[in-house]
Chains A and B, each alone.
Chain A
């Protein structure tokens, strides 16, 4: 038995911890979920306690023998204090349980879930990397982030984790639709869906024609600066100013255009806008 202890000491996987007349041979580190053993010296019966913030164990042991802990006994990474009590003697020590280096789970947070097209650095992704026992893996590992747009345009970046975390930023693309945002590490991946919606109207333009004693006003199909159709329901505001008076009509887009009839006042000035976006201006002279 002492030969085994001497061998373990020699290869640096175990260290003796003494107190009073007992002695403990503890592993320096145990991989989460792996089998391990603790050897004690002395004679008679004792009780072995292993306490950490994630798990607590208590075993009746025979002093002087090796106590075996099968795989899956300790799986929460952390620092574990060990106390041995028995036969009028006591010993204590400590060892660490380290995460499995093979990732099993990604905690992937992507924001926002919906945004306008064409925004530089508009999409962010952050990842925490965990092993199969939900232990954070602090060892640096590469994470690949990949954003695929509706037009199959792909942005990707590979980021190495620090303290188990990694992040990236991506641009929203020019085409509206649904993006797939994937974070992966080896065979483990996690996907988030990002909705890209048209941006503000761009180049808002209306035309006017007489309709009896009214003016019929109609916009061209309203699109954003990337050419995506602005959604129906978006409010377009027509304003007519004449003889020091002003009238305003709000019209929702329908099938991509907004149209309205307003009174035909001579020398009226008519403008069109959507939100803070101004369109063209028409002077009605008839």
Chain B
């Protein structure tokens, strides 16, 4: 009951916290599922998930505007490097991509013993639209499971790995 209560609270908090930033994306949080020596505080879980959900806004803004600098606040390491490379390639080709996340189903699956990484899975519904010199070449609705690794930075959790997982 306590777990359920905390999940509902987390959903409510995320709903309000991400409401403005994440447009109409709905966020559902599953109970954390991992075994480890370090307990995961509710506050930590909420912060990590909130920061991750917000990272989709940066991701979209960066890929839509071909602006790698917009990744700085939310991405680090390999995730940032790969997104930056994609943006560089988009710029070279005259392409933009617009990602709009519609729904997230998030579950924390790993919290490292020293507290320096959280891994979560996110089954995301999103739209992706590709524009070549501002002309739309099509749009797709995607339902995909992502593996996400977050690490703490000075002020927030940042995305270190963001990888779609084939079914």
Question: Which residues of A are in contact with B by a Cβ distance under 8 Å?
Answer: 19, 29, 47, 49, 51-58, 76-79, 81, 83, 85, 90, 92, 94, 96, 98-99, 109, 111, 121, 124-126, 128, 134-136, 138, 162-165, 167, 169
Contact = CB atoms under 8 A, between A and B. Distances in A.
Nearest to B91: A56
Contact of B109 (A49, A51, A96, A162): A162
A53 B142 contact: no
A126 B38 CA distance: 12
Given A47-B132, A49-B95, A163 B166 contact: no
A162 B121 CA distance: 12
Interface string B113-139: 110110101000000101010000110
Given A90-B137, A109-B116, A163-B109, 12 more contacts: A49-B137, A51-B95, A53-B99, A58-B132, A83-B138, A85-B138, A126-B116, A134-B82, A138-B165, A163-B110, A164-B119, A169-B113
Contacts of A165: 109-110, 112, 117, 119, 149
A125 to B, nearest CB: 8
Contacts of A54: 82-83, 85-86
B28 to A, nearest CB: 19
Nearest to B124: A79
A124 B37 contact: yes
14 contacts: A47-B137, A51-B130, A54-B83, A57-B89, A58-B95, A58-B132, A79-B144, A81-B128, A90-B137, A90-B138, A99-B163, A109-B116, A136-B161, A163-B109
B111 to A, nearest CB: 9
A60 to B, nearest CB: 12
Contact of B140 (A57, A77, A94, A111): A94
A96 B166 contact: yes
Most buried by A among B82, B97, B140: B82
Contact of B121 (A51, A92, A163): A163
A121 B89 contact: no
Interface string B135-156: 0011010101001010000000
Q: How large is the interface on B (under 10, 10 to 19, 20 to 34, 35 or more residues)?
A: 35 or more
Contacts of A169: 37, 113
A49 B130 contact: yes
A158 to B, nearest CB: 16
B23 interface: no
Given A81-B140, A109-B112, A134 B78 contact: yes
Interface of B: 36-37, 59, 63, 78, 82-83, 85-86, 89-90, 93, 95, 97, 99, 109-110, 112-114, 116-117, 119, 121, 128, 130, 132, 137-138, 140, 142, 144, 147, 149, 161-167
Contact of A81 (B117, B130, B161): B130
Contacts of B93: 56, 58
Contacts of A92: 138, 140
B128 A111 contact: no
Nearest to B126: A79
A79 B86 contact: no
A83 B116 contact: no
Contacts of B63: 53
A76 B82 CA distance: 8
A69 to B, nearest CB: 14
Nearest to B90: A56
